Amino acid sequence: MFALSRRPRTAHTTLILALATALPSAAPAQELSRNAQELYVQLCAACHGRNLEGGSGGSLLEGGWFNAAGDDTQLEKIITQGLPEAGMPGFGDALDAPRVRALAVYLRERFVRAQERGTTFHRPAENVTVRSEAAAFRTETVVEGLNIPWSLAFLPGTSDMLIAERDGRLLLVRDGKLQPEPIAGTPRVVARGQGGLMVVQPHPDYAAPGNGWLYLAFSDPGPGDTTMTAIVRGRIRDGRWTDEQQIYRAAPEHYTRAGHHFGVRLVFDQGYLFFGIGDRGQQHEAQDLGRPNGKMHRIHDDGRIPDDNPFVGRPGALPTIWSYGHRNPQGIVARPGTTGESLQIWLTEHGPRGGDELNLVQRGANFGWPVVTHGINYSGTPVSAETSRPGMVDPVVFWTPSIAVCGLEFYTGDRFPGWKNNLFVGGLRQEEVRRVVLEGDRVKSQEVIFRGIGRVRTIHQGPDGLLYVGLETPGRVIRLVPAE
Ligand code: HEC
């Protein structure tokens, strides 16, 4: 019981207790757990079975309650109001809104996992052809023996490919062969937790005379064992990193000892550079415009700050911010054919437990974290009762359970005509690549094209029109090639 019970009951506390039971959701019911699974056991297992397999109430693993579009309104209504005709009691008096929300996420996780247990996923290999919905393919290994590759880049106008490993090594693959020595003199990175060398990416005009710029994003060491996302650019000459310029570095007071949620991935458009920084584990700071974490940023590609950014001139706001309320941006890509005013940046970001999101970034917009979310804490306790709020942008789609979204790429090549303009979403924990078909700005359909051959960190279309995938376990780069 809560501290209240140890004090003698005064008229005042009795009144509060009476109110709490009389008014649905007026106050959290202290004797109930905040952990979703424990709540389920406390309140639901007696009728629906400890494993949701059913009892006097039906199984919740096959129920009509599941809404594939992700709308939990009906489910939350069943939990609060019950189904009196069918003998299901309502729990609106006992449960506050965050707990109802946590139960909904828990049921959704269990339901999807149960559905998937009966499903087999494709596992492509050199000699295993996958016949997916819109193309047949197999995989080829391009480079193996890598130590956690986090990013790869094709250098325009050459056959060279660069691979960034988490521990900070920048590797060159020339004519299909991994060169034994890493590029010398790259910045020191803090390879700890989710930090390391996160991005290598060429400037879009890399091949133009005098350009040759390569951008690196990484966890930068700060004072007293702290780190923060930073971006530099430089050139490679004779196997060495040279001409380094600082492009983005946060103020020292924004460095933290947290080892997670660095965000990053870069989009270039018309001389601008967009990138994301995760909340660095400080959820509420994603709503604080005075802090760089939990934001998408826009700067010039040489690091200058544009004077037409949405929060320029607002007291206390950082002028680099483009949008906010992000938890941990991971995949960031421009939609092919959009630029300038029409530019569409698509963004995948990690939710907490459940609630991974695909977002369409909008200038100055608030994406809601942690005020609204479709997920719960890893411990099973609620983050928020709300999944949506006026003035905050909803995700285009969300995933519960989380797939741990990571790499993201639009396919525009000719080798897989059936995949043209589809979005490919990688998953770390689910070890999957998902093909997302868009219709306008909405998701029309999704297909998991394979699962279970390694944590998918990064996905890129190569100059040959094939899709290259960086896998962490074991560290390698594969490509998908058309098969008969
Ligand atoms: C006293 C028994 C009882 C308890 C306790 C109970 N339920 Fe139910 N529940 C039922 C019955 C009976 C039905 C209607 C028949 C069916 O679908 O099983 C039902 C239906 C449902 C449905 C709709 C199923 C569908 O397929 O449409 C959901 C969702 C649900 N319950 C969730 C819960 C949750 C969550 C809890 C715990 C907070 C809970 N129930 C607690 C008896 C119970």
- The answer to whether 305 and 299 are in contact (CB under 8 A) is yes
* Mean pLDDT value across residues 74-101: 92
Secondary structure element (H or E) that encloses residue 425, with its range: strand 423-427
Mean pLDDT within 185-197: 95
Atom of ligand 1 nearest to the CA of 39: 38
Q: Is the CB of 92 under 6 A from ligand 1?
A: no
User: Is the pLDDT confidence value at 133 over 80?
Assistant: yes
Which tokens go with 6? 């140890």
Domain ranges of the chain: 11-117, 130-482
Distance of alpha carbon 359 from alpha carbon 365, whole angstroms: 11
Class of domain 130-482: mainly beta
Convert the pLDDT of each residue in 336-392 to its tens digit. 999 999 999 999 999 999 999 999 999 999 999 999 999 999 888 999 999 999 999
Asked if the model's pLDDT at residue 62 lies above 90, the reply is no
Q: What is the pLDDT of residue 118?
A: 78
- Over residues 20-38, mean pLDDT: 61
CA 386/CA 377 separation, integer angstroms: 14
Q: What is the position in ligand 1's atom list of the atom closest to the CA of 59?
A: 18
Q: Does the pLDDT of residue 18 top 70, yes or no?
A: no
Q: Which amino acid is at 243?
A: D
**Measured distance CA(436)–CA(419) in Å, rounded:** 9
**Predicted confidence (pLDDT) per residue in 198-212, tens digit:** 999 999 999 999 999
pLDDT of 10 reads 36
ω before 474 within 30° of 0 (cis)? yes
pTM to 2 decimals?
0.86
Of 30 and 310, the structure prediction assigns the larger pLDDT to 310
Q: Given 3-state DSSP classes, what are the helix, strand and coil percentages for the chain, each rounded to the nearest 5?
A: 15, 35, 50
> pLDDT-based confidence at 84, cuts 50/70/90?
confident
For ligand 1, say whether the CB of 390 is within 6 Å of any of its atoms.
Answer: no
- Ligand 1 contact via 89 beta carbon (within 6 Å): yes
Say if residue 414 is exposed, middle or buried (CB neighbours under 10 Å; 0-12, 13-18, 19+).
exposed
Q: What is the model's pLDDT at position 56?
A: 86
Q: Which residue minimizes the CA distance to atom 5 of ligand 1? A: 44
CATH class of 11-117: mainly alpha
Nearest CA to ligand 1 atom 16: 58
Q: Which tens digit of pLDDT belongs to each residue from 459-482?
A: 999 999 999 999 998 999 999 999
What percent of the chain stands above pLDDT 90? Answer: 80
Nearest CA to 426 among 409, 444, 401, 439?
Answer: 409
Which residue of 25, 34, 43, 48 sits with most ligand 1 atoms within 8 Å of its CB, as the best mutation to test the pocket? 48
Least confident of 2-6, 288-292, 356-360, 448-452: 2-6
Q: Answer whether residue 252 shows pLDDT above 60.
A: yes
pLDDT, mean over the chain? 91
* pLDDT confidence tier of residue 13, bands split at 50, 70 and 90: very low
DSSP 3-state of 179: coil
Ligand 1 contact, 110 CB (< 6 A): no
DSSP state of 338: -
Residue range 433-460: mean pLDDT, rounded: 95
**What would the mean pLDDT of 429-454 be, rounded to a whole number?**
94
- From the number of C-beta atoms within 10 Å of its C-beta (0-12, 13-18, 19+), residue 378 rates as exposed
pLDDT bucket at 101, cuts 50 / 70 / 90 = very high
Per-residue confidence (pLDDT) for residue 26, from 0 to 100? 37
Task: Read off the pLDDT band of 64 (50, 70, 90).
Answer: confident
Q: Does the pLDDT at position 63 exceed 80?
A: no
* Confidence bin at 35 (pLDDT 50/70/90): very high
Atom number of ligand 1 nearest to Cα 58: 18
Under the banding of pLDDT at 50, 70 and 90, the label for residue 115 is confident
Beta bridge pairs of residue 359: 347
Indicate if the pLDDT at residue 24 is higher than 70. Answer: no
Residue 17 binned pLDDT confidence (cut-offs 50, 70, 90)? very low
Average pLDDT on 247-269 reads: 96
Q: Which of 48, 203, 254, 261 is catalytic?
A: 261
pLDDT of residue 22: 35
Please give the average per-residue pLDDT across 315-337, as a whole number: 97
